[in-house]
Amino acid sequence: MTIPYPEHIAMVVTTFFTVVIAVMLHYEALWLISRQIDKSRRPHRQRILGMAFGVLMTHIVEIWLFGITGWCLTDQLGIGALYGYESFNVLDFIFFSAVTYTTVGYGDIYAVGPVRFLYGTLALTGFVLITWSASFTFIEMQKHWRVGR
């Protein structure tokens, strides 16, 4: 059995911590949104719209978290790379993170090297967090939706 290269170990550890941060962020954001909806005296529409924008902003922050992590690992540390264009900037990494997070997968950009582990795990993490948000939204809508308002 061969011992993985140090960059593989660094990738697994970095991916683990990035996923933990994203999941904890998601939990805390949904908890905060739920409490705000329950405590709010604002009109119904404002509460529901606040919930929707809060959930969307949470996903955007998580996409940026993974995008910046991927950029740091590849562009700054040289652990893997993205291919598909001649040069990449940090916003290309954010775009690739969004496409992977949402499991759209256009295919115009692809990862090579150890960084593939981060992006493969990102697809699963994004899928889980999006479905978690959908369940949360459904439950909150059932609790707070008022017919005729």
pLDDT digits (tens, 9 = 90+) for 53-82: 999 999 999 999 999 999 999 988 889 999
pLDDT in tens, 21-34: 999 999 999 999 99
Structure tokens of 69?
């992590």
| Phi and psi based region of residue 42 (left: phi greater than 0; alpha: psi -120 to 50; beta: remaining) | beta
Which DSSP helix (H) or strand (E) runs through 112?
strand 110-112
Q: What is the mean pLDDT of residues 105-110?
A: 89
Residue 143 has pLDDT above 90, yes or no: no
Q: Is 84 left (phi over 0), alpha (psi -120 to 50) or beta?
A: left
Q: CA-to-CA distance for 54 and 140, rounded, in angstroms? A: 13
- As beta bridge partners, residue 81 has 112
Q: How confident is the model at residue 3 (pLDDT cuts 50, 70, 90)?
A: low
Contacts of 19 (CB under 8 A, 6+ apart): 121, 125
The amino acid occupying position 67 is G
pLDDT score, position 1: 57
The predicted structure's pLDDT at residue 138: 92
Q: In the predicted model, is pLDDT for residue 48 greater than 60?
A: yes
Mean of per-residue pLDDT scores for the chain: 91
For each of the domains in the chain, give its residue range(s) and CATH number, in order of start: 6-143 (1.10.287.70)
In angstroms, rounded to a whole number, what is the distance separating the alpha carbons of residues 111 and 15?
15
CB 100 within 8 A of CB 108: no
Its pTM stands at: 0.90
